[in-house]
């Protein structure tokens, strides 16, 4: 089955700086890669996703890049703000497979 590794497990960044979280996946057939943000006591919320037919996707301060050859994808947050503090989970899935495989999570702390 799919295995997703996520690094780092914790990340502290000065407000205004950029943050990068990286994930690698094992199944070359995986073709959908969402990122979820989970604030303390709240639900996981989708912040951005990418499919394997594109290499990069951007939404304001958030971007995701995908390298299919190396089987890794990354979340980039620019101009970080205190409200970006949360746990971020990456995930991977094959087309037609109902199961999302999650990474272990990254606790991001923005230092004011």
Partner 1 sequence: DTEVTQTPKHLVMGMTNKKSLKCEQHMGHRAMYWYKQKAKKPPELMFVYSYEKLSINESVPSRFSPECPNSSLLNLHLHALQPEDSALYLCASSQVPGTDTQYFGPGTRLTVL
Q: Which long-range contacts (CB under 8 A, 24 or more apart) does 11-14 make?
A: 11/106, 11/107, 11/108, 11/109, 12/108, 12/109, 12/110, 12/111, 13/80, 13/108, 13/109, 13/110, 13/111, 14/80, 14/110, 14/111
Is position 80 an interface residue for partner 1 (rule: CB under 8 A)? no
Shortest spacing between CB 79 and partner 1, in angstroms:
25
Site mask for partner 1 (CB under 8 A), range 11-50, x = bound: ---------------------x-x-x-----xxxxx--x-
Shortest spacing between CB 46 and partner 1, in angstroms:
6
Chain contacts with partner 1 (rule: CB under 8 A): 32, 34, 36, 42-46, 49, 87, 89, 93-100, 102-105
């Amino acid at each position: 089955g799919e295995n997703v590794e996520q690094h780092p497990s914790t990340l502290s960044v000065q407000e205004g700086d950029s943050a990068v979280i990286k994930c690698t996946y094992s199944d070359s057939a995986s073709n959908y890669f969402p990122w979820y943000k989970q604030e303390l006591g709240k639900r996981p919320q989708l912040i951005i996703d990418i499919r394997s037919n594109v290499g990069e996707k951007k939404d304001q301060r958030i971007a995701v890049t995908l390298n299919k050859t190396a089987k890794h994808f990354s979340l980039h947050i620019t101009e970080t703000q205190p409200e970006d503090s949360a746990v971020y989970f990456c995930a991977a899935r094959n087309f037609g497979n109902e199961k999302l495989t999650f990474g272990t999570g990254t606790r991001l702390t923005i230092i004011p």
